[in-house]
Structure 1
């Protein structure tokens, strides 16, 4: 698995994610609001938070959905954040890993490595042996 160093754009993504989290934090029954930011290859950035409920949607889904709704199709880097997590960064859940794999397998995802250092890895590397649609 190739690992990438963070850039200034990546640090800005974390700040944007934390800002949207701060503005929208919900300490209601779920108490797990997550912020997210994505950088597109053209330089545009989008942000979002998770929406909880019986069939809630993760912040990554909301953020990628916002970008796609705006016409974006080429993604560079994504990060999910919460101010109580190590380095304020949360790794994507299994559902989000699958979604990222299907929509943008080469997007870089900011995560903490085994030593607690922030790095980027490709979404495809977060989900080995991922399900892929059968093309006949």
Structure 2
């Protein structure tokens, strides 16, 4: 797994994810507890928070949906955040890892590595042996 160092733009992305959460934090009625920021390959950024409910929607799903709804199709980097997490960053859950793998397996995901350092890794590296559609010839 290739681990990439963060750039100033990546640190700004973390701040955007923390800001959208701070501006929308709701630990009661809606349980908005995770913020997310996504940067497209053109540099456009999108932010979102998780939505609680029977099935719920993670912040990564909400943010990816916003970007796709706005016409984005190529993605560079994504981060999920909570201000009580190490470096403010939380790793994507299994569902989000599969979604990222399906939509953009090469998107870089900001996570804390095994030593607690911030790094970027490809989504495909977060989900070895990911489910893929069966192609029948």
* Fold shared per TM-score above 0.5: yes
C-alpha deviation, 1:31, in angstroms: 4.9
- Per-residue deviation at 1:32? 5.9
Aligned residues: 136
Task: Please say if 1:13 is aligned against 2:13.
Answer: yes
Question: C-alpha separation between the residues in 2 aligned to 1:112 and 1:32?
Answer: 22
Q: CA RMSD in A?
A: 1.1
2:124 maps to which residue? Answer: 124
SS in 2 for 1:46: strand
Q: Quick check: 2:24–2:32 contact (8 Å CA) kept in 1?
A: no
SS at match of 1:11: helix
5 Å-filtered alignment, 1:1-136, equals: 1-28=1-28, 31=31, 33-136=33-136
Q: Alignment partner of 1:115: what SS?
A: coil
What runs of 5+ residues in structure 2 fail to find an aligned partner? none
Structure 1 residues 75-116: Cα deviation after superposition (integer angstroms, max 9, x where no partner): 000000000011100000000000000000000000001111
Unaligned stretches of 5+ in structure 1?
none
Distance across 2 between alignment mates of 1:31 and 1:114: 29
Query: For 2:39, what is the secondary structure of its paired residue?
Result: strand
TM-score by length of 1: 0.97
How does the TM-score come out when normalised to structure 2? 0.96
CA distance in 1, matches of 2:32, 2:43: 29
- Once the two structures are TM-superposed, the CA of residue 134 in structure 1 deviates from its matched residue by 1.3
